[in-house]
Amino acid sequence: MSGIFYRQTGAYAREPMAERTLIIIKPDGVQRHMMGEIISRFERKGFKLAAAKFLQVSEATARRHYAVHEGKPFFEGVVKYLASSPVLAMVWEADGVIDMARKMMGATFGYNAEPGTIRGDFSCSRGYNLIHGSDSPESAAYEIPLYFADEELVNYGLVDADWLYGKND
Ligand code: UDP
Ligand code: MG
């Protein structure tokens, strides 16, 4: 398909290198039928989807993913959890997306997370908290290639980008 639907237009489309974050709907999110709910929150916020993959994470990848937590008491548990059942890995894009997504996710433990956040609304567990999101640009740069090859990240413009990302000043 070509033509107007994929034409790069608008201010945002001229800045294709907006920040990216790795979001994973974790095994409990998939098993609890929460994928649509979670995706719809990011979609309605105005983030742009750059990649998505439904997969079974291997224990080796889970170890690499959580390498920063190696040696902590919960490390083996969180590795097993991430590799316990399929997940939906996604890359979402927007200026400031890393911090915005973290706010939308809520605090790490479901029982601490504020109502209105994903974890606050749908989790009361400690470790089973539905979603992963990169916590810094450095984490995103490390995590995204664990799940996606460069060519799997799709560059395109949103036709309503000027409305989504409009500025008055
Ligand atoms: N986790 C856990 N027990 C803990 C701390 C963390 O089971 O005491 C799990 C939980 O699933 C969390 C993940 O390990 O999401 C990674 O921990 P981190 O502190 O990075 O939290 P996040 O960035 O996911 O909010
Ligand atoms: Mg983390």
pLDDT digits (tens, 9 = 90+) for 95-142: 999 999 999 999 999 999 999 999 999 999 999 999 999 999 999 999
Residue 91 bridge partners (DSSP): 22, 51
- Cα–Cα distance, 78 to 161 (Å, whole number): 37
- Centre of ligand 2 to C-alpha 134, Å, is 7
Domains and CATH numbers, the chain: 6-57+85-147 (3.30.70.141)
pLDDT digits (tens, 9 = 90+) for 17-39: 699 999 999 999 999 999 999 99
**Which residues have beta carbons under 5 A from ligand 2 (an ion)?**
135
Residues known to be catalytic: 132
- Cα–Cα distance, 144 to 61 (Å, whole number): 12
Token output for 136: 């810094």
- Cα–Cα distance, 47 to 37 (Å, whole number): 15
